[in-house]
Amino acid sequence: MLQFDRFKIILIILVSLLGPLYALPNILSEDQRTWMAENLPGWMPSRAISLGLDLQGGSHLQLQVDMATVVSDRVASLQASARQTLREEKIATQSLTLKDKKVSVALRDAADADKALTFLRRDLGQGVILDRTGDRIDVSYSEQEIKAFEKQAIGQSIEIIRRRIDETGTKEPIIQAQGDDRIIVQLPGMKDPERVKQLLGKTARMTFHMVDSYVSLSACLSGQAPLSVRCLPLNDDPNVQMAVQRRALLTGDMLVDAQPAYDISGRSVVNFRFDSLGARKFGDVTRDNVGNPFAIVLDDVIITAPRINEPILGGSGQISGNFTVETANDLAILLRAGALPAPLKVVEERTVGPSLGADSIASGKNAAIVSTVSVMILMFLVYGWRFGGFANFALVINMMLMIALLSMMGATLTLPGIVGIVLTIGMAVDANVLIFERMREEMRNGRSVMPTIDFGFQGAVSSIMDANMTTLIAAAVLFMIGTGPVRGFAVTLAIGIITSLFASMYLTRLMIVLWANWRKPKTLPL
């Protein structure tokens, strides 16, 4: 136990040196860290711990997903699928309507009901409930299937929110589900929360429609437009409406890129590009409708309706309007990130000022310093300057390793995380206390110096491992079932346990063994 291979000695020393090195960026300014990242080799440290919302200020939003829209869209899709199936199988219907999350199919001939059930069951798939009453068939989704839709909508919304926020340059946002229909968004350091709210508040469903020039504005305003068209407001003037064909020729799902740009007149526009399928459809539509206006619709608002002068075969296009540089950039962000599965509603909003975060940092820093100094003084008083010095040096390296690992992981430090660090300070010296006390017992039993050191470490190993492993299990449970700050606390606690085990079981042992082999003392100064 007292023999260290040369490789093990080098490894322990190397880890102990890398800890302070990788913790160094945390005391440097952002400009200095940027310089290090640009001018030093890639393996050199340049990352620092990110501060959470409660430490650097920012915005906290709680969003609610409109699950009614999710379900209604799915049921509408179910209606379209049922209509297509019955049409293909030449089964006549009197009506096919939506009501109370159901598709109600009224057949012209009740004798076709069994055949209709067979084909609908074949094409609509699992999770669909078919209920026949005479010549009427009700089609609906099961509750389990609806729950699956809602869960999927939450996951999709989180992913799209993350894409949109990443495009704004916000660092280390926290985005997570809460309950069945809500999403928590925390944006540390966010200086313009209103812009983020605008980005998140738009569903960003883009569709492309042909303009129906035969339907007048008065027909739209009086509600006399035919069912095949929709009257939608213009983005430039919401009081003016334009009739477009209800059927969308293309959708935003076919877009692969969107970038803000300037046209030949210097006005802000958005250039977009379709995928191969979208490019082919876009080319066909523009070739077949030369001379006709073509509406680009975003969230049921007509952004622009240019006239098609010639076929557009390259799969690229341009959206123009009364855009500023910022609104053009925001529209490009929305198109690149994709459409939300359902609208989001802000149900809670909080703003944490940077001054409050600075006070929290100062309080946490003071708590860490006071606790560290107090523990170090206590170790000197109880175990003397030599063994107390070994323990205190290991404590310092332990703290450096914690900060280094958090920096390398890109972790976000919050107030509970600071609590985890302060707690780790006490836990870090606990292992050394067990080892030193076991050495005192062996000395009282009359053992010589080297066996005392050996039995001191061997006798304390089981107690140290049991205590730390049970705490590590608790941290793992907190991480798995906790959210936000609780998980941050669990991460810092788990990292602190790992680094304290290294510091006590390897670094402290190495220092004591090297000292004992060098000085060859007759007794231990404990």
For position 401, what pLDDT does the model report? 92
pLDDT per residue rounded down to tens, the chain (526 residues): 556 778 888 899 999 998 888 888 888 777 777 787 777 777 777 788 877 777 777 788 889 999 988 888 888 888 888 888 888 888 888 888 888 788 888 888 888 888 888 888 888 877 888 888 888 888 888 888 889 888 988 988 888 888 888 877 776 678 888 888 899 888 877 766 777 777 787 777 888 888 888 877 777 777 777 777 888 888 878 888 888 888 888 888 788 888 888 888 888 888 888 888 888 888 888 888 888 888 888 888 888 888 888 888 888 888 887 788 888 888 888 888 778 888 888 888 877 766 666 676 777 778 778 888 888 898 899 888 889 899 899 999 998 999 898 888 877 777 788 888 888 887 778 888 888 888 888 888 888 888 888 888 888 888 888 888 888 898 889 888 876 678 878 888 899 889 988 988 889 888 988 888 888 888 888 7
For position 2, what pLDDT does the model report? 58
Q: Is 525 helix (H, G, I), strand (E, B) or coil?
A: coil
Kindly tell me the burial class for residue 36, based on how many C-beta atoms sit within 10 Å of its own C-beta (0-12, 13-18, 19 or more).
Answer: middle
The secondary structure of the chain in percent helix, strand, coil, rounded to multiples of 5, reads 55, 20, 25
For position 353, what pLDDT does the model report? 67
CATH of the domain at 284: 3.30.1360.200
Reported pTM: 0.65
Is 310 among the domain residues? yes
Rounded to whole angstroms, how far apart are CA atoms 376 and 394? 11
For position 189, what pLDDT does the model report? 72
Residues 364 and 485 placed together within one structural domain of the fold = yes
User: Of 85, 115, 146, which residue constitutes the final position of a domain?
Assistant: 146
CA-to-CA separations, 466 to 124, 389, 497, 501, in angstroms, rounded: 56, 26, 12, 12
Rounded to whole angstroms, how far apart are CA atoms 343 and 204? 9
For position 484, what pLDDT does the model report? 65
N residues, the chain: 526
Q: Which long-range contacts (CB under 8 A, 24 or more apart) does 424-427 make?
A: 424/398, 424/492, 424/493, 424/496, 424/497, 424/499, 424/500, 425/368, 425/371, 425/372, 425/375, 425/395, 425/399, 426/371, 426/375, 427/468, 427/471, 427/496, 427/497, 427/500
For position 445, what pLDDT does the model report? 83
For position 357, what pLDDT does the model report? 61
Residues 188 and 90 placed together within one structural domain of the fold = no
Rounded to whole angstroms, how far apart are CA atoms 254 and 283? 13
Is 93 among the domain residues? yes
- Residues 21, 407 contacting (CB under 8 angstroms): no
CA-to-CA separations, 50 to 53, 186, 456, in angstroms, rounded: 10, 13, 40
Residue 472 corresponds to which tokens in the numbers above? 């590590």
Residues 285 and 230 placed together within one structural domain of the fold = yes
User: Of 146, 178, 208, which residue constitutes the final position of a domain?
Assistant: 146
Is 471 among the domain residues? yes
Domain that holds residue 177: 60-66+150-350
Residues 72 and 86 placed together within one structural domain of the fold = yes
Rounded to whole angstroms, how far apart are CA atoms 34 and 30? 6
CATH of the domain at 98: 3.30.1240
Residues 323 and 359 placed together within one structural domain of the fold = no
- How far is Cα of residue 111 from the mean position of the Cα atoms in its chain? 54
Q: Give me the residues paired with residue 243 across strands.
A: 231
| List of residues 6+ apart from 375 with CB closer than 8 A | 395, 425, 426, 429
Residues 198 and 280 placed together within one structural domain of the fold = yes
User: What are the backbone angles phi and psi of residue 82, rounded to the nearest 5°?
Assistant: -65, -40
Is 240 among the domain residues? yes
Residue 345 corresponds to which tokens in the numbers above? 């509603």
Is 526 among the domain residues? no
Is 524 among the domain residues? no
Residues 50 and 111 placed together within one structural domain of the fold = no
- Residues 302, 242 contacting (CB under 8 angstroms): yes
CA-to-CA separations, 224 to 213, 228, 233, 295, in angstroms, rounded: 15, 12, 16, 21
Domain count, the chain: 3
Is 109 among the domain residues? yes
Is 1 among the domain residues? no
Rounded to whole angstroms, how far apart are CA atoms 248 and 207? 6
For position 397, what pLDDT does the model report? 92
Rounded to whole angstroms, how far apart are CA atoms 380 and 331? 63
User: Of 350, 383, 411, which residue constitutes the final position of a domain?
Assistant: 350
Q: Is 27 helix (H, G, I), strand (E, B) or coil?
A: helix
Q: Give me the residues paired with residue 406 across strands.
A: none
What is the sign, positive or negative, of the torsion defined by CA atoms of 259, 260, 261, 262?
Answer: positive
Residues 346 and 209 placed together within one structural domain of the fold = yes
Q: Is 352 helix (H, G, I), strand (E, B) or coil?
A: strand
Residues 196 and 266 placed together within one structural domain of the fold = yes
Residues 383 and 294 placed together within one structural domain of the fold = no
Residues 228 and 103 placed together within one structural domain of the fold = no
CATH of the domain at 442: 1.20.1640.10
Residues 316 and 365 placed together within one structural domain of the fold = no
Count of CB atoms within 10 A of residue 180's CB?
11
Rounded to whole angstroms, how far apart are CA atoms 171 and 257? 23
